[in-house]
């Protein structure tokens, strides 16, 4: 049997919020962007939309499509299909890619990590094709995987035709979908090993050196930014998906079809400043703080044990609003022994009556199984009563 508790948002509430002062949008009909065709601002943790502007309009996104290319590469690494130290031989097809590149040598071998780094830092088209061929056998098969993944993420206005973003008929996305894809990419912490590199040399096996400079100038222009992907073609205009973090709040912004490079970076800064000034992320469950309720245990050296959330839980909201937070805590039937960190229940977090998050409850201590002597002592104690 599972035991169900309903807990009001009181003792478990942990004070704490973060926002950046100084940027207010008096009229929400006013545009935050300048010279851009569409935009989207999202909270990373909850996925809640903060600001949107023509967000479902289908348009080319140029090299921003490499967000999905890199995502599939990281999936392949995590699943053991490839490893960062593996060598990939650049095909003639990959080495012949135009546009931004690191000038791979046909027949030369490069590590997976070298190629991934060049994709993030300098948007290397040749590295994208080399990676795609290594993972899927051909760029065409890889693109099919890109479209499948986009559908899984709920990107209903996205269609890829290549893994580079170079102009090609029948490929498009929208600001909303790019935000979904980029948010998903940020789940891979290894991404940040490359996204903050400003300048680095790419050393070829034949000792040639290609200097890589990060195309995302926002990491220098905006101190809170630690990642992003740019894109440009004459058809797509200037595009950017970027992320910034202040204290415990991370935001994702997308601007598409900007008239100039400055327009896209300045617009992203406006979006971030608006988000940090007007929204907060309040921690309501702290993994380092035990819950007030102890859970019962059978066959243990003691009848109850302390518990805590498995992870932190933050609630995202406007700074001028106080959402109604309630919890449902389900305690599982637990028999000793129990190890610290063992999952023993679950907390459902409700924001304004709607399920917001689900967090596992774990034991905050070890509980040994009761010995024969312990049981005898308990029985003797009951007789004494």
Report how far residue 125's alpha carbon sits from residue 87's, in angstroms, rounded to the nearest whole number.
18
The three-state secondary structure class of 91 is: coil
**% of the chain with per-residue pLDDT over 70:** 89
pLDDT(375) > 60 = no
Whether the predicted pLDDT of 383 surpasses 80: no
Q: Which two tokens stand for residue 22?
A: 């100084």
Q: pLDDT band for 374, please (50, 70, 90 cuts).
A: low
pLDDT bracket for residue 345 (50, 70, 90): very high
User: Is the dihedral angle over the CA atoms 48, 238, 125, 229 positive or is it negative?
Assistant: negative
- Give the sign of the dihedral formed by CA 28, CA 32, CA 35, CA 36: negative
The structural domains of the chain, with segments of one domain joined by +, span 38-281, 286-384
Nearest-angstrom CA–CA distance, 319 and 17: 9
66 catalytically annotated = yes
Query: What is the CB-side half-sphere exposure of residue 321 using CA atoms within 13 A?
Result: 13
Confidence of residue 28 (pLDDT cuts 50, 70, 90): very low
Asked whether the predicted pLDDT for residue 361 surpasses 60, the reply is yes
Give per-residue pLDDT as tens, 66-105: 999 999 999 999 999 999 999 999 999 999 998 999 999 9
| Average confidence (pLDDT) over 39-46 | 96
pLDDT, greater one: 23 or 30: 30
Check pLDDT > 60 for residue 306. Answer: yes
In tens, the pLDDT along 151-166 reads 999 999 999 999 999 9
| 382 pLDDT above the threshold of 80 | no
**Interval 332-358 mean pLDDT:** 95
Tell me the average pLDDT across 340-352: 96
Percent of the chain with pLDDT over 90: 85
Report pLDDT for 370: 84
CATH number of 38-281: 3.40.710.10
Q: C-alpha distances in angstroms, 264 versus 161, 180, 250, 270, 363?
A: 24, 19, 19, 10, 48
Kindly report the average pLDDT of the chain as a whole number.
Answer: 90
Establish whether 369 is a catalytic residue: no
- Ranking 192-196, 299-303, 374-378 by mean pLDDT, the lowest is 374-378
Catalytic annotation present for 38: no
Q: What are phi and psi of 265, to 5 degrees?
A: -70, -45
**The one catalytic residue among 37, 38, 66, 117:** 66
Active-site residue, selected from the candidate residues 20, 38, 63, 195: 63
Taking each helix axis from N to C terminus, what angle separates 112-122 and 66-78, rounded to the nearest 10 degrees? 150
DSSP string, 152-171: HTT-TT-B-S-SS--S-SS-
At residue 381 the predicted structure's pLDDT band, cuts being 50, 70 and 90, is low
pLDDT band at residue 1 under the 50/70/90 scheme? very low
Which residues 6+ apart lie within 8 Å of 123 measured at CB?
A: 63, 66, 100, 215, 229, 230, 231
pLDDT of 350 > 80? The answer is yes
Catalytic residue, chosen from 20, 123, 132, 363, is: 123
Question: Fold for domain 286-384?
Answer: Peptidoglycan synthesis regulatory factor (PBP3), Domain 2 (2.60.410)
């Amino acid at each position: 049997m599972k035991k169900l508790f309903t807990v009001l948002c009181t003792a478990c509430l942990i004070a704490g919020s973060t926002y950046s002062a100084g940027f207010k949008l008096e009229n929400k009909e006013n545009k935050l962007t300048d010279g851009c065709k569409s935009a989207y601002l999202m909270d990373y943790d909850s996925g809640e939309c903060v600001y949107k502007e023509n967000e479902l309009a289908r348009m080319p996104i140029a090299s921003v499509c490499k967000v999905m290319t890199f995502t599939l590469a990281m999936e392949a690494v995590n699943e053991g299909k490839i490893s960062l130290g593996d060598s990939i031989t650049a095909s003639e097809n990959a080495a012949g890619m135009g546009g931004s590149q690191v000038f791979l040598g046909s027949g030369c071998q490069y590590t997976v990590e070298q190629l991934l780094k060049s994709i993030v830092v300098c948007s290397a088209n040749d590295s994208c094709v080399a990676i795609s061929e290594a993972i899927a056998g051909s760029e065409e098969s890889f693109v099919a995987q890109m479209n499948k993944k986009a559908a899984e993420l709920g990107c209903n206005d996205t269609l890829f035709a290549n893994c580079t973003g170079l102009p090609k008929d029948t490929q498009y996305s929208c600001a909303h979908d790019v935000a979904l894809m980029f948010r998903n990419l940020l789940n891979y912490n290894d991404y940040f090993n490359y996204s903050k590199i400003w300048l680095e040399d790419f050393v070829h096996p034949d000792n040639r050196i290609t200097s890589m400079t990060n195309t995302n100038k926002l990491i220098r222009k905006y101190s809170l930014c630690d990642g992003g992907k740019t894109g440009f073609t004459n058809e797509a205009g200037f595009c950017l998906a970027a992320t910034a973090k202040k204290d415990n709040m991370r935001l994702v912004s997308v601007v598409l079809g900007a008239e100039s490079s400055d327009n896209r970076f300045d617009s992203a800064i406006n979006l971030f400043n608006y988000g940090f000034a007007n929204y907060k992320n309040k921690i309501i469950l702290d993994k380092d703080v035990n819950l007030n309720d102890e859970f019962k245990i059978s066959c243990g050296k003691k009848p109850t044990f302390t518990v805590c959330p498995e992870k932190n839980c933050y609630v995202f909201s406007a700074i001028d609003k106080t959402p109604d937070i309630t919890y449902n805590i389900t305690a599982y039937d637990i028999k000793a022994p129990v190890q610290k960190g063992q999952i023993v229940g679950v907390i459902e977090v409700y924001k304004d009556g709607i399920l917001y998050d689900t967090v596992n409850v774990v034991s905050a201590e070890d509980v040994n199984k009761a010995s024969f002597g312990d049981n005898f002592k308990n029985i003797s104690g009951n007789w004494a009563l």
